[in-house]
Structure 1
Amino acid sequence: MFKLTRIRNCDAETLKAIYEKRWKVEVFHKTLKSNASMAKSPAHTVRTQSNHIFLSIYSAFRLEVLSLKVNLNHFQLRAKIYMAGLKASLGQLRELLAA
């Protein structure tokens, strides 16, 4: 990490490059927290907490791969998956009510 004194003494292009890299890390943390539910761990033992953290990071990675493939950001992709799940459950509910 750059020290504040180095940031003060650098030119605009270097400063822009530093903050572009930092922004990618911020987006990754937001994805871990919001889209991969890393903060909502129900785990109490070290092993289950480790598993939850690993799978949260893995799901964030898979979400990134999928978002690059379909050209949507993480939040658009999550909303699209959520809506597809809601439509499927509504269809099943209608089938049950019709029977």
Structure 2
Amino acid sequence: MNQNRLDLYTDYLSVTFGYATATGLSNMLDGGISHDAISRFLSEREYTSKDLWKQVKGMVRETESEDGVLIIDDTVEEKPHMDENDLISWHYDHCLGRNVKGINLLNCLYHANDVSIPVAFELVRKPIRYCDLKTRKERRCSEVTKNEQMRLMIDQQFPVKKHLTS
């Protein structure tokens, strides 16, 4: 992994309001890196919460506080024109009050001392296909609930060491 490109891209995401795009980053750098090079870098592999944690661990340690909290929420990024698959499917959007086709993302922020830092994320995938008997339409569902996925995310990212006492 090219650490300089990852640092550059995460900095860009931190300061960009609105849509963040490879073209936007390239333009911000006056073409110093082409948007194709940025896209190739991002598609080299699938990034995970572990990658995010490596980037933000130092900031979290600097802002750590007894009053710090984890804030977990989900968001749906609409993708109405994309073909449906395990990742892009129908999800209920609480902000809109209806189902939308898109990508559902679980986010975890650490908040302390008036600072919020993203520390973990998980994509909601719906690989199981079934037929809704009432509508006779194909539907999709996840192998685990979002609540279970959130708990797994916390356990994997922030494992609590249990000590046995005699």
* TM-score interval for Structure 1 and Structure 2 normalised by the shorter chain: under 0.3
* Larger RCO (CA within 8 A; separation ≥ 6): 1
Structure having the larger proportion of residues in helix: 1
Structure number with larger C-alpha Rg: 1
TM-score, reference length from structure 1: 0.26
Structure having the larger proportion of residues in strand: 2
